């Protein structure tokens, strides 16, 4: 059978647990990891006669996120009941939003620093506020065929962010998830822990295949259970190949099969068929009579907008344009989170050299953070102390390899860079003495002089080695520069 080219079409539905102390409609705690069924009350257990009350913080965290995603905020929003039966949903319906969501029509821009794809604006259909379900666990050991239900999570506030099907590769979907997660951490609206389920992702995927008779679309499949960035990427790649094979076998196109739900099995690295998706109408959405609508004013929206600090995309641009960092450096620093960016800004200001500060943060500082598995908040050298070290490099008092020795010593002491330099016995070599030394070396090594003169500048490296033997404190950069000057003036 002949091979046809195809395009993968991907839309993502992301569920974000918002960082509130209490649930969306009751004041039970939302803490993760407590003993089963110790965080419930009549409201989240769905007892008859109990009444939900909307969590103010959840609503405003949702709005902050929506604004950062460039969404519009309708003045009037309400909640609806989405009816279905499942043991982890004690009320028999999920309180969600149907026709009047709290936000709509935004976008998130994604870029690849590794040129995996062209920059893309992923449009967002809506972000709405709903409640989480509980957890069901199948008790294999006990056998008996029972499932155990823990309702601690029931009613935890979720923001569901729905994108348009604007992504065209698994790499783009992964980049969207990563950029969204970064944005959410800058906004401080969620813990974004994919393992603990505070950031979850479902993907709607199909193919547009270019056949001899024009472009056809394969039936849409929703992939669930992708609990890491890697599984998002792999799940979509797997599903694309699977859909292509199924199409070659059956020829079935969009509209000829109902929408299917498949779960990603991370250990087997395959997607497996789940229940057939119920048609939207089967959820029998209707306005929740227990909750009253929310109406916001322009002033309230503006106030929330003011709370939003500088976001990753703006910071990357500022680090490139104002601070002269490369796109790669700016990306590395910004992607580590707001605290590292703040450290960098403080360091650059105090040291007076933006690029040098960028190199050190991206190099030595990040290396220590990774090696010791610590956050910048726990990094032993504050920006002010590191700035003193960078100044010693700028004045030529320290070369880069000595600076690294000083840096290493500063990690375990509280001394200033200047004091550590003294403690380590590093002395700056007097300029006159340095020039005299270089003069002697040049005179002693006629062959190297000839080499350099004939265009091989690298040959001067041998002189640096000799200079270091004579005096370990010499700055290699300076030796190189002075020797080259002397040779070129011969």
Task: Give min distance, CB of 106 to other proteins, in A.
Answer: 23
**How many Å apart are CA 133 and CA 155, to the nearest integer?**
6
Report the SS3 class of residue 371. Answer: helix
Of 365, 419, 418, the closest CA to residue 393 belongs to 418
Task: Give min distance, CB of 252 to other proteins, in A.
Answer: 23
Q: Which of 118, 196, 276, 282 binds other proteins (CB under 8 A)?
A: 282
Q: What angle do CA 86, 87, 91 make, to 5 degrees?
A: 80
Structure tokens at 315: 């910071």
**How many Å apart are CA 141 and CA 369, to the nearest integer?**
41
Sheet containing 80-83: which strands, arranged edge to edge?
Answer: 93-96, 80-83, 286-287
**How many Å apart are CA 205 and CA 246, to the nearest integer?**
14
- Contact pattern for other proteins over residues 113 through 152, marking x by CB under 8 A: -----------------------xxx------xxxxxxx-
- Contact pattern for other proteins over residues 70 through 109, marking x by CB under 8 A: ------x-x----x-xxxx-----------x---------
Question: Which residue, 124 or 151, is less far from other proteins as judged by CB?
Answer: 151
- Contact pattern for other proteins over residues 291 through 330, marking x by CB under 8 A: xxxxx-----------------------------------
**How many Å apart are CA 4 and CA 224, to the nearest integer?**
27
**Which residue shows structure tokens 């699977």?**
242
Task: Give min distance, CB of 220 to other proteins, in A.
Answer: 20
Question: Which residue, 83 or 359, is less far from other proteins as judged by CB?
Answer: 83
Q: Which of 114, 275, 447, 458 binds other proteins (CB under 8 A)?
A: 275
Q: Where are the alpha helices (DSSP H) in 217-326?
A: 229-250, 298-307, 312-321
Task: Give min distance, CB of 77 to other proteins, in A.
Answer: 9
Should residue 27 be labelled a site residue for other proteins when binding is judged by CB under 8 A? yes
Should residue 55 be labelled a site residue for other proteins when binding is judged by CB under 8 A? yes
**Which residue shows structure tokens 């590794």?**
114
Should residue 54 be labelled a site residue for other proteins when binding is judged by CB under 8 A? yes
**How many Å apart are CA 338 and CA 316, to the nearest integer?**
11
Question: Which residue, 261 or 326, is less far from other proteins as judged by CB?
Answer: 261
User: In the beta sheet, which residues pair with residue 123?
Assistant: 107
**Which residue shows structure tokens 């709290």?**
102
Should residue 238 be labelled a site residue for other proteins when binding is judged by CB under 8 A? no
HSE at residue 111, side-chain half, CA atoms within 13 A, is 10
Question: Which residue, 86 or 328, is less far from other proteins as judged by CB?
Answer: 86
Q: Which of 1, 2, 35, 412 binds other proteins (CB under 8 A)?
A: 35
Should residue 284 be labelled a site residue for other proteins when binding is judged by CB under 8 A? yes
Q: Which of 33, 214, 289, 455 binds other proteins (CB under 8 A)?
A: 289
Should residue 280 be labelled a site residue for other proteins when binding is judged by CB under 8 A? no
The DSSP result for 95-112, as a single string, is EE--SS-S-EEEEEEE--
Q: Which residues bind to other proteins, rule: CB under 8 A?
A: 20-22, 27-29, 35-42, 45, 53-59, 76, 78, 83, 85-88, 100, 136-138, 145-151, 225, 263, 274-275, 282, 284, 287, 289, 291-295
């Amino acid at each position: 059978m002949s091979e046809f080219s195809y395009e993968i079409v991907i839309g993502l539905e992301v569920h974000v647990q918002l960082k509130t102390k209490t649930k969306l409609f009751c004041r039970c705690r939302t803490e993760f990891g407590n003993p089963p069924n110790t965080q419930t009350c009549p409201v989240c257990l769905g007892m008859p006669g109990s009444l939900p009350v909307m969590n103010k913080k959840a609503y405003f965290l949702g709005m902050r996120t929506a604004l950062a995603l460039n969404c519009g905020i309708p003045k009037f929003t309400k909640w609806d009941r989405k009816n279905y039966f499942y043991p982890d949903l004690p009320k028999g319906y999920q309180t969600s939003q149907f026709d009047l969501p709290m936000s709509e029509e935004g976008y998130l821009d994604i870029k690849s620093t590794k040129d995996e794809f062209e920059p893309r604006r992923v449009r967002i259909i809506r972000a709405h506020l709903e409640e989480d379900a509980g957890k069901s666990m199948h008790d294999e050991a006990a056998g008996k065929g029972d499932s155990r239900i823990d309702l601690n999570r029931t009613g935890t506030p979720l923001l569901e962010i729905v994108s348009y099907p604007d992504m065209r590769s698994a790499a783009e979907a992964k980049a969207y998830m990563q950029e969204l997660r970064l944005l959410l951490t800058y906004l401080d609206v969620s813990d974004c822990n994919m393992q603990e389920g505070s950031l979850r992702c479902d993907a709607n995927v199909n193919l547009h295949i270019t056949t001899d008779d024009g472009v056809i679309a394969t039936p849409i499949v929703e992939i669930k259970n992708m609990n890491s960035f890697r599984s998002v990427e792999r799940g979509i790649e797997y599903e694309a190949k699977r859909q292509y094979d199924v199409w070659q076998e059956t020829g079935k196109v969009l509209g000829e099969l109902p929408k299917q739900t498949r779960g990603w099995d991370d250990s087997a690295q395959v997607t497996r068929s789940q229940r057939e998706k119920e048609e939207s109408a089967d959820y029998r959405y209707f306005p929740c009579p227990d909750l009253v609508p929310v109406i916001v004013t322009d002033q309230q929206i503006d106030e929330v907008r003011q709370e939003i600090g500088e976001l990753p995309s703006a910071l990357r641009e500022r680090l490139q344009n104002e601070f002269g960092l490369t796109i790669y450096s700016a990306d590395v620093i910004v992607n580590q989170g707001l605290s590292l960016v703040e450290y960098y800004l403080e360091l650059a200001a105090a040291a007076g050299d933006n690029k040098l500060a960028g190199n050190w943060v991206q190099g030595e500082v990040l290396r220590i953070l990774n090696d010791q598995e610590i956050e910048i908040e726990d990094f032993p050298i504050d920006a002010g102390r590191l700035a003193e070290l960078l100044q010693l490099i700028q004045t030529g008092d320290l070369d880069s390899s000595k600076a690294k020795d000083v840096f290493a010593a500063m990690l375990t002491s509280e001394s200033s860079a200047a004091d550590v330099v003294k403690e380590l016995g590093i002395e700056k070599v007097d300029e006159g003495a340095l020039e005299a030394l270089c003069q002697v070396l040049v005179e002693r090594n006629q062959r190297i002089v000839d080499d350099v003169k004939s265009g091989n500048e690298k040959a001067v490296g041998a002189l640096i080695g000799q200079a270091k033997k004579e005096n370990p404190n010499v700055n290699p950069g300076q030796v190189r520069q002075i020797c080259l000057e002397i040779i070129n003036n011969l």
